[in-house]
Structure 1
Amino acid sequence: MVQLESAKCSFLLCLGICIIFCSAIYLKAKISNTPKVSVLSCQLLPENCPILPSLTPGFRWERQDCPINYIVDAKANCSRLRSELHFITVPLSKEEEDYPLAFIITIHKELEAFVRLLRAIYTPQNVYCVHVDAKASGDYKRSVRNLVRCFPNVFLASVSERVMYAGFSRLKADLNCMKDLMRFPVKWRRVINLCGQDFPIQTNLELVRYMQGSEWRGKNMAPGVKQPSYIQYRTRFQYEEVNDSVAPRGKGQTKGPPPHNLTIYFGTAYYSLTRAFAQYVLNSAVAKDLLSWSRDTFSPDEHYWVTLNHVEEAPGSNVNGGWEGNIRAIKWKDQEGASHQGCKGRYIRDICIFRTGDLLWVVEKYSMFANKFETTSFPEALDCLELWHRHKVLQQALVPVQPSWQLITEVPKSTEGQQQSSTLSYPQIKGSNFSS
C-alpha cells in the first residue's frame, strides 16, 4: 500500500512537472507568434530637412512615428498594423471620395520604401494593384502579401512578370495590373503607374483637382513627342530579353513597319490615363496590334502609351500634345545646368537618386510624384519628404484628424508630450481652394 501511494505521488509529481513544462512551451510559442509590428526606438527628425514648414514661435517639432520592423507576420492583427503604420483610414474629403483613383505599383526591392509609398498615397476609396517582380525573394513576396491582405482595396497582380530593365516584361507588368483593375468593383476614374522608388509631391486632393482641372479633364497624361532620329534604333531593330538583360537579336535584325500605319512617339513610361482609355488599350485592335509589334523593341513602355495617346480615336487622346503634364520631378544628368543645377545625391542610369539637398527643387517643381529615392543610400531624403507630405495632407483634410495619422506635430517647447497643431501654408496647384 505504501509502495502504491509512493508510485501515485511520483506520477502526480511527474504530471505536474509535465503540465508546467508544456504550459511554458505553449506560452513562449504564443508570445513569439503574437501578431505584432515590432516598434524600435523612436528616431529623431532628419537633419537638415529644408522643406519642413516654419515653426510657430515658441513651438518645436515632435515626431510621432518610430522605425518598425516591416516584416509582417501572416497572422498580424490588421487593425493594429494599420494604426501603427499610420495609414489614413477614411476619405479626407467628399471631393476625393467621389473621384476614386487607381494605382499600379511595380516593386522588386526595398520593402520599407514600398510601405512608406503605399501609406503616403493610400485612401480607402482608391484602388491599388501591386506587381511584385517574379525575381524578388520569397521573404519579400511574403511580406508584401501579408501587408496587402489588411486592405480590401489593395491586391497583388494576378500574373507576375520577371521584369527586365528596358524589356517588354516591364510593359507587360503594367498591363497585367490594368486588366485586374478593370475587373475590380470600384469604378475608378483614372489610373496612375508608379514604381517603388517614387514618392508623391501632390496630395490625393491635389491629384484629383489637378486631373480634373480645365487642362486635363477627360484627357490622358502620357507626355512625349514624335520619335527623334537618335532614338529610332529602339524600334528599328529587334531585341530580346536574355540573361536578365535586353540585347539585340541576331546581327541587328530589323523590324517591319508599325501596324495601322502608326507614327511612333517617344516619351515617358509614366502616365495618368482615363478609365475609357484603359478600356481602349485592353480591347482595341490598334492597341493589341501595337502591343504585339512592340514585343521585340527596346524599352517599349517609352513608346507604347504615348503613341496610343496620339491616336485620334482613342478616348482622351492628346493628338497635338508634347511634353505637357507634371507627371514626375526627375533630375536627368543631361539636363544639368538647364532644368536643374546638379544632383546632390548620385546618378544611376543618368537619373538622380535624391538627397535632402535636392528636395527644395523637388517640391518647387510641384509635379505629381518625384523619382528616385533609395532608403539604402540616402534614407534621410525620403524621411524628410514623407514628413512634409503627410503634414500637408492632414492640413488639407476636411474631416477630423485621427492621432494615428500624424507623423509629425507642433508642440509647445515648454510642454513635453502635449500636442498642439498650427495652420501652415503650402504651395497650391492652380485653381486649388483648400478651404472649400
Structure 2
Amino acid sequence: MRPPTPTLRSRPRLAAAALAASAALLLVCLTWAGAGAGGFLFSSTPSTSTASAALRATGPDAPPAFAYWISGTGGETRRVLRLLRAVYHPRNRYLLHLDAGAGGDERAELAAAVRGEKAWGNVDVVGEGYAVDRTGSSVLAATLHGAAVLLRVARDWDWFVSLSSSDYPLVTQDDLLYAFSSVPRELNFIDHTSDLGWKEHDRFEKLIVDPSLYMDRNSEILPATEPRQMPDAFKIFTGSPWVILSRNFTEHCVHGWDNLPRTLLMYFANAAYSMESYFQTVICNSSEFRNTTVNTDLRYFVWDDPPGLEPLILDESHLDNMVNSIAAFARRFVEDAPVLTKIDEELLNHSSVCVNLSGKQGMDVDSCSKWGHINVLRPGRAGEQLRRFISEISQTRGCS
C-alpha cells in the first residue's frame, strides 16, 4: 500500500526541515572545499593564489578586501565572467555559482575560463549546482552556503558582497576599496525597515513551500492553504535582498553562537522572498550587531509606478542618473546591453577587450590582467564621492 501523498497543509514543515538540513550541511560541505574538478569546488590555480596571497598586505592599516558571491543560472556563463572581470581586484576573493538551471558542462566551462586567467588565483567556482528559486528560501540557503565557503577558503576578507548575473558595478574596485577604507570594518550595509505594509499579510502571514530546497531542479514556490500568526518572539524587518555584510556578522549567521540565526532560518523557510528579510531580521534583533547597521544597500534601481516585483531593465537612458546616484552597483541589465559597454569605458576605465571571454580578433586580453602594486589604491572622482557618502551615512546606525 502506497503511503499518503503529503498535502500542502504538511509541506511547510517539510520545507523548514529541508532548509534546516541544508544549513546543517554547510559545515559538512566545507570539508570538500579546495577539492579538484571532481569535488565540491573547482579551485583556482594554487601557485597563482599563493603568490597573490604573499603580495597582499593585511590588517587594520591595509586596504580592506571583499568576498564576492556571484550567482547565475543556465546560459549565463558569459554574463558571470563579464561581471567577474568588472569587479575583479587581486585583493578580493570570489566564489562563482551556477544553479541547477545550468548543466555540469557549463560549470566546467566556467571553471576552465577561470583557470585560463593566470591572474585569477583568488577565484573559485562551486563544482556542484543546486536548485534555487529566487522568490523562495532556497536562494537564502545558497547565499549562506556561499558565505560559509568563503569563510573557509579565505581568512582575510572584510565584507561579504552578494551579486547576481543581472548586476554590474558603477565604480572601480579601487574606488570601492578606497571608500570602504574610511569606515570601521564591523559595519553592515543593509537596506531595512520595520514598516511591513502589505508584506505583513502577503509575505509573512501566508505560508509557502520552496521545492527547490529538496529537488534537484529549479522549481517554483507553492502556496499553502493555511495562514500563520505574526511572531512575537522577534520583530520582522524587510528591505533589499542585496547586502554588504561584515565578516563578523557573516560568521554569526553561518555559525550562530546564539540561537537566533537558526530560529529565523526555520521561520523564513516558509516565507516568500526570504532574502529580503532574513539578514535584516537577524541583525535588527541582535543586541550585538544592531548598532553596526547602516541603512543602505549601495545599489541603483529604477522601479515602475506602481512598483513590480523586479526593478526595470536599465539602458543608456538611465546612465546619467546612475552616475549621479553615488551607488556602487546597479541592476537589472540584459546580456551585452550597450549601456554596459558605456559603463566599462566611461566609469570603469575598461576597454571592450577586457570584457570579452577570449582574445578574439587578435585582441591582447592578457594586458587587461596586469596590475600595479595591489596594496596601493588609485581612486578617481567617483571614489572620492563614494567615500564621502559612506562616511556620512555611516554616522547613523541602528534599526529604529
Q: Which residue, 363, 371, 375 being the options, matches 2:331?
A: 371
Within the candidate set 131, 134, 157, 1:162 is matched to 131
1:271 aligns with 2:220: no
Which segments of 5 or more consecutive residues in structure 1 lack a partner in the other structure?
1-77, 83-89, 337-347, 394-401, 408-422
2:194 is the alignment partner of 1:226: yes
Indicate the residue corresponding to 1:331 in structure 2. 302
User: Aligned pair in 2 of structure 1 residues 198, 365: CA closer, same or farther (>3 Å)?
Assistant: same
- The structural deviation recorded for 1:91 is 7.5
Aligned-residue offset at 1:147: 2.0
Match of 1:146 in 2: 112
Q: Deviations over 1:225-250 (max 9, x none)?
A: 0142300121112101358211212x
CA pair 314-94 structure 1, distance change in 2 beyond 3 A: closer
Which of 196, 210, 229 matches 2:165? Answer: 196
Q: In structure 2, do the counterparts of structure 1 residues 95 and 289 end up closer, same or farther at CA, with 3 Å as the change threshold?
A: closer
2:339 maps to 1:381: yes
Asked if 1 retains the 8 angstrom alpha-carbon contact of 2:71 and 2:80, the reply is no
Note the C-alpha offset of 1:354. 1.3
Deviation at 1:270, TM superposition (A): 0.7
Q: In the alignment, is the contact (CA less than 8 A) between 1:226 and 1:265 conserved in 2? A: yes
Identity of aligned residues (%): 21
Residues 308 and 389 (structure 1), Cα distance of their counterparts in 2 relative to 1, 3 Å cut: same
Hey, what does 1:280 align to over in structure 2?
Answer: 252
Q: Tell me, in whole angstroms, the C-alpha distance in 2 between the residues paired with 1:386 and 1:329.
A: 16
Change (3 A) 1:222 1:424: closer
> Which digits, 9 at most, give the CA deviation of each residue in 1:357-411, with x for residues without a partner?
11111111121101011126xx211111122233189xxxxxxxx981299xxxx
Query: Are 2:137 and 2:269, in contact at CA under 8 Å, matched by a contact in 1?
Result: yes
Per-residue CA distance 1:75-115 (angstroms, 9 max, x = gap): xxx99xx9xxxxxxx88999996422101111114322211
What CA distance in whole angstroms lies between the structure 2 residues aligned with 1:197 and 1:366? 19
- Quote the Cα distance in structure 2 between the aligned partners of 1:154 and 1:367: 25
CA contact (8 A) 2:240 2:297 kept: no
The answer (yes or no) to whether the contact 1:161–1:169 under 8 Å persists in 2 is no
Q: Secondary structure at the match of 2:348?
A: helix
- List aligned pairs for 1:11-160, cutoff 5 A: 98-108=63-73, 109-150=75-116, 151-157=120-126, 160=129
For 1:246 and 1:357, the matched residues in 2 are separated by 35
Matching residue of 1:405: 368
- Unpaired runs of at least 5, structure 2: 1-43, 49-54, 212-217, 352-364, 371-378, 389-400
Alpha-carbon distance in 2 for matches of 1:308, 1:156: 28
* Contact in 2 for aligned 1:107/1:132 (Cα 8 Å): yes
Task: Please name the residue that 1:358 is paired with.
Answer: 318
> What amino acid is the match of 1:254?
P
Q: Is the 8 A contact 2:190 2:297 kept in 1?
A: no
Q: Distance in 2 between matches of 1:178 and 1:314?
A: 20
Residue pair 1:392, 1:426 contacting (<8 A) in 2 also: no
Distance change >3 Å, CA 224–CA 424, structure 1 → 2: closer
Which is greater in Rg? Answer: 1
Q: Partner of 1:130: helix, strand, or coil? A: strand
Superposition deviation, residue 258 in structure 1:
4.1
Sort the Cα spacing of 1:334 and 1:224 in 2 relative to 1 into closer, same or farther, 3 A.
farther
Residue type of the partner of 1:244?
A: S
Give how far 1:137 is off.
3.2
Q: TM (normalized to structure 1)?
A: 0.62
Q: Distance in 2 between the 1:382 and 1:391 partners?
A: 12
- Structure 1, residues 92-148: CA drift from partner, whole Å, max 9, x if none? 999996422101111114322211110111112211111211121344222212123
Between 1:362-371 and 1:156-165, the stretch displaced more is: 156-165
Show the 5 A alignment for 1:240-259: 240-242=209-211, 244-249=219-224, 251=225, 253-255=226-228, 257-258=230-231
Give the direction of change, closer, same or farther, for the CA distance of 1:286–1:184 in structure 2 (3 Å limit).
Answer: same
Partner of 1:311: 285
| Aligned partners of 2:243 and 2:297 also within 8 Å | no
2:133, 2:221 within 8 Å by CA — same for their partners in 1?
yes
Please state whether the residue corresponding to 2:97 is helix, strand or coil: strand
- For 1:286, the aligned partner's letter is L
Asked whether the 8 Å contact 2:186–2:247 carries over to 1, the reply is: no
Following superposition, the deviation at residue 316 of structure 1 comes to 6.3
Task: State the TM-score, normalized to the length of structure 2.
Answer: 0.67
